[in-house]
Chains A and B, each alone.
Chain A
């Protein structure tokens, strides 16, 4: 009863000073919780950024290769990966997780257009813009994987054949032909600029590989996640597709892993520095606040208060301050993290609720540590404190 009453009075006693301390704790907690939220979210955010690198998993028949006799223009030419049954797509589809950003089969045919050889990539045209988000397009995307009347052409192909969106291209391969409308011109900034993109059935028809047991060459997947989560997913796929070779595209995954690790380490070390600094700042403020109470401590000792009973009062005071400041700071921190997320990544940060107790505990801990010097007053004779020296 009296304890609560004293605590309440102490908290209300010097509102100005208290406000300063509260502001210090609140801003400290805000910065800490914002940075912690950011730190926890950064990996997810950055891995998503890396998806602009394109596919990071390839599923193929891999090592079970066969030599293909016809070397001029067949899909299996030049030792490119052997064919596989498209039924694998259904199996992959069943194992799809929300982390799979895009998935597309590929079948390459070196066809001829106006007697010039050109690489035709048969794939799922509704997926390729997700697979390679950096592609730029003049014209329209093809949004259906069943559309067999249209195609997308690479920039160099468009130049070579003088094509523009809306134009026509006729592809021929061993007597079979396909007349397609050019829906769009792709500026991929890579080898894809030299290719024609058609839906898988078109390429299969050209290569005479169509049918219920249609053939493809490989499947590319773009999977979101950390290096570990991607390799876990790859292992899961591999174990359920024993006949196939599931391989991460190393150039992408390795670089991604390194960069992520370094970026995270960098941000983490900065966050730790700020954490330390903020804690010090709060500590200093709380220590100053506590030291102002030293005359009260002396008086209470003179009145016969034992050190433990006196300390419990002041520690309760700073704990309340720490907890209150911590709580307000956490809320402000979430807003701050949100702002940072928008500023840096253009998307919001998912607040982590476990940051709340962590931050509040840290603030209370720091506040208590700041009040700890009061403990030393226990050793000093009250006469000395009362004299005010």
Chain B
């Protein structure tokens, strides 16, 4: 299998605080990686850098042949639109857009909108009857499934999920996790931040962070 993500000696400093202190690892295409560690260990920072939401202080983060650290603003924007699908703990749906429009928003920024495709994506996550609902009319689990549909709509190389079940109850957690399992089976590459061991177990590999360093690799 080809290496999709290659991270070399990645550092990120916020003022005096070292969020990442020389992290090196690689991810093969089609792998599901769980990134674990206590609060403040640098998990979110790592994900943000990989997703082009933040830039590292030094080091390399190559995703699908592109070094994120070297991209300029416009390059990062294209990178996010074309290669990355994000799923956030807080869902981050646009409150005044329907489920369908939230998915279409990602299409809009990527290239052109295709309403039919967006419908299919929502049907896939089991929201066929929720297509025209606003986020406020959806449960947390449903909102997160919209977010997953949105993350997938542009066929990203890499799905980044930051505690996707952190704000969900048990039942919804299961639904969302089942979705991620399906994605994994279909061959998507997933990097998921979590601190629940039960979820970490589902992944192919775990990367443990502590104080910005790799603590343990499985």
Contact = CB atoms under 8 A, between A and B. Distances in A.
Contacts of B74: 306
Given A381-B54, A381-B55, A304 B96 contact: no
Interface in A33-86: none
B96 A12 contact: yes
Contacts of B186: none
A299 B92 contact: yes
B78 A303 contact: no
Residue from A10, A12, A384, A386 having most chain B Cβ neighbours under 10 A: A386
B192 to A, nearest CB: 17
A302 B53 contact: yes
A347 to B, nearest CB: 49
B42 interface: no
Given A299-B92, A303-B105, A383 B54 contact: yes
Contact of B150 (A2, A303, A307): A303
Nearest to B47: A383
A307 B108 contact: no
Contacts of B51: 302
Contacts of A5: 101
Nearest to A387: B44
A13 interface: yes
Main secondary structure of the interface of B (DSSP, over half): helix
B113 interface: yes
B96 A305 contact: no
Range, interface on chain A: 20 to 34
B95 A305 contact: no
Residue from A303, A305, A381 having most chain B Cβ neighbours under 10 A: A303
A6 B105 CA distance: 8
B73 interface: yes
Contacts of A2: 104-105, 107-108, 113
Contacts of B92: 299, 302, 386
Interface string B147-165: 0001000100000000000
Contact of A304 (B55, B84, B97): B84
B61 to A, nearest CB: 14
Nearest to B93: A299
A311 to B, nearest CB: 12
A3 B101 CA distance: 11
Given A303-B80, A303-B81, A6 B109 contact: no
Given A12-B96, A386-B53, A304 B101 contact: no
Given A3-B108, A304-B82, 11 more contacts: A6-B97, A6-B108, A9-B97, A13-B96, A299-B92, A302-B51, A302-B80, A304-B77, A305-B81, A378-B73, A381-B48
5 interchain residue pairs of minimum CB distance: A304-B81, A13-B96, A305-B109, A304-B80, A383-B53
21 contacts: A1-B113, A5-B101, A6-B97, A6-B105, A9-B97, A12-B96, A300-B109, A301-B53, A301-B80, A302-B86, A302-B92, A303-B80, A303-B81, A303-B86, A303-B105, A303-B106, A304-B84, A304-B154, A306-B78, A378-B73, A381-B55
